[in-house]
Amino acid sequence: MSYVPRLLYRTPSAFLLGLIACNIVAIEPATAEPLLSQSILSGEQNSNANYLFQQGIKQFEVRQYQAALESWLKALKIYQALKSDDGELKTRNNLGLTYSNLGQHNKAIEFYGQSLAIAQKIGDHNSEANLLNNLGLAYYSQKQYLKAISYHKKSLITANQGSIENIKADILNNLGNASYANQGYREAFRYYLKSLELQKKTGNREAEAKALNNLGNSAYALGEYQKSIDFYEKFIAIRNSAKQDTTLFSNLGNAYTSVGQYSKAIEQYQQLLALIGKTDNEAKAKVLNDIGNVFFSLGEFEKSTAYYQKLLEVTRKLGNKESEAKAFNNLGLASYSLEKYQKALEYYQQALAITRQLSNTKSEVKTLNNLGLVSYSLKKYPKAIEYYLQSLTIARQTGEQAIEVNSLHNLGNATYALGQYAKALEYYQQSLSVARQLGDYKVEVSSLNSLGNTYDSLGQYQKAIEFYRQASELKQTKLGEKQ
C-alpha cells in the first residue's frame, strides 16, 4: 500500500507554545490628564478647594492614589457647596482617573458618568470628549470591548463637532485597541492608520512609532505578514530604543517566519534570546520554542531538537506543566521526523502522562493520535489501533472533527496493515464522510485512494478503479494537481 500514514499536524506549531500573533508593544491607552480649572474664583472657601485640588494632583503624580482621593473628595464637597460646575466636573473626572488606576473601574465609571453629565449640561465639549474617551478606557479595562468602542466613537464624534484636534489621534488609537481586542482586526487597522496620519501632522514621533507598531500587529493578525514587516521596520527607523524592545524582536521573528524568511527570523529570535540573558522565564521558553520551530521548518531536526531540549529544561525549572507537555510533544515530533521512533514514543508517552494529569483533553487527543502513528511506524499495529481508538473516542466527545477524521484514516491504515480489509474499508468510508463534511479535500483524496488500494487488495478491481478515478478528478479540480 503506497499511502503514508497521516501524522496529525506535521508542523510543530500544533504542539508548541505557538507564535505571538499580535502583542501590542507596551502601549498604554491614551488617557486624559486631570482637568484643571483655568480660572480661580475668589473667596476663602474656593481657595481651600483649589488648594486641595492642586494637592491631589501632586499626590496623583507620585502615585499616592489614596491620598489623592482624600484630597479630591474634600475638594468636591466644597465645590458642591459653592455650586461650582467647573470645579466639580474636573474633580469628579480626576476621582474617576484615580479609581481607574487603582483597578476600581466601576467606581471610575460612576465618577466619569457624573462628570460627563455636568460637561453636557454646561456645554463643555472639550471635557465631554475627554470624558467619553475615559469611559471607553474604563470599559476596555473591564474587557467590555463593545461598550468601549461605543464610547470612543461618541468621543470622536464630539471631538469632530467641536474641532478638538488635540485628542483625535488618541481616540483613534483607543478605538484601534478596543477593536483589536474584540478581534476586529480590519477595523483596528483602519483606526491605527488614521491615528498615524494625525500623529505625523503633530510631529509626535513617539506616538507615530506606537501607531506603526500597532499597524504591524494588526497586519500580522490579518495574515498580511509582509505588510506587518514593513510597519515594524518603519517603527525601528523612528524609535532608536527599539533595539531593546523584546516584544518587537518576537513580532518581527514571527512575521519573518510566516513569509518564509527563516534566516531573518532566527536573527531576531537570537537577539531576543541574548537580551533575555540567563534568566529562566516564560519569555525565554517562548523564544526557545520559536527557534526550534524555525529549524523544524527548515528540516534541521537535530537543531530543533536541541532547542526543544532547552525549552524542556526551562519549563521544568518554571514548574509549568502545560509547557512541559508541549516541549515533550515537540521533541516527539522532531524525533519522529528523524525516524527515531522509539525516542519519539518515549517523549509522547511523557507528554500524555502530563496532559492527563492536567485533564487537557485537547492536547491528549493529539498526543494519542501521534502515539498511534509512532507505533504504526514501529510496526506495532495492534498498539497503534489502541491509541487511535482512544483518540477517536475523545475527538468525538469533544467535537474535534479535524482530529476525528485523522484518527479514522489512521485506523484504516493500521487495520489494512493487519490484513483486516473489511475493517479498513469501514474506517476509510467514515474518514471520507467526515472529510466531505469538513471540506478537507486532501483527506478526501487520501481516503478515496486508500479505498481504491483496499479494494485492489481484495481483488475487486472495478471498485478500485472507480475510487482511483474519483481521487484523480478531485486532485485536479480542487487541489489543482495535474496528472
Burial of 110 (0-12, 13-18, 19+ CB in 10 A): middle
Q: Is the pLDDT of residue 36 over 50?
A: no
- More confident: 307 or 237: 307
Q: Is the pLDDT of residue 289 over 70?
A: yes
Quote the CA–CA distance of 322 and 31 in Å, as a whole number.
37
What does the pLDDT look like over 244-274, one tens digit per residue? 567 788 889 999 999 999 999 999 999 899 8
Q: What is the pLDDT of residue 40?
A: 36
Please give the CATH superfamily to which domain 183-261 belongs: Tetratricopeptide repeat domain (1.25.40.10)
CATH topology of domain 278-359: 1.25.40
Q: What is the pLDDT of residue 377?
A: 95
Q: Are 195 and 172 in contact (CB under 8 A)?
A: yes
Q: Are 470 and 445 in contact (CB under 8 A)?
A: no
Q: Is the pLDDT of residue 467 over 70?
A: yes
Q: Which of 105, 130, 109 is nearest to 119 (CA)?
A: 130
Q: Which of 306, 249, 326, 312 is nearest to 9 (CA)?
A: 326
**Residue intervals in the chain for CATH 1.25.40.10:** 183-261, 278-359, 363-483
Helix-strand-coil split of the chain, %, nearest 5: 80, 0, 20
Q: Is the pLDDT of residue 452 over 90?
A: yes
Contacts of 271 (CB under 8 A, 6+ apart): 249
Q: Are 218 and 180 in contact (CB under 8 A)?
A: yes
Instruction: Give the amino acid at 153.
Output: K
What does the pLDDT look like over 172-206, one tens digit per residue? 999 999 999 999 999 999 999 999 999 898 888 88
Q: Is the pLDDT of residue 306 over 90?
A: yes
CA angle 454/377/472 to nearest 5° reads: 35
Q: Please, what is the average pLDDT of the chain?
A: 87
Q: Is the pLDDT of residue 30 over 70?
A: no
Quote the CA–CA distance of 460 and 263 in Å, as a whole number.
52
Q: E strand or H helix at 465, and its extent?
A: helix 461-477
Grid cell at residue 280: 529562566
- One of 3.20.20.70, 3.40.50.2300, 1.10.4190.10, 1.25.40.10 is the CATH number of 363-483, namely 1.25.40.10
Grid cell at residue 22: 499580535
Q: What is the pLDDT of residue 74?
A: 95
Q: What is the pLDDT of residue 240?
A: 63
> Backbone phi, then psi, for 400, in 5-degree steps?
-85, 80
Contacts of 79 (CB under 8 A, 6+ apart): 49, 87, 88, 91
Q: What is the pLDDT of residue 483?
A: 55
CA dihedral of 87, 88, 94, 97, whole degrees rounded to 10:
-150
Instruction: Give the amino acid at 316.
Output: R
Q: Is the pLDDT of residue 99 over 80?
A: yes
DSSP assignment string, 4-55: PPPPSSSSGGGTSS--------S-PPP-PPP---SS---SHHHHHHHHHHHH
Q: What ranges make up the beta strands (E) of 267-395?
A: none
Quote the CA–CA distance of 127 and 63 in Å, as a whole number.
23
Instruction: Give the amino acid at 374.
Output: V
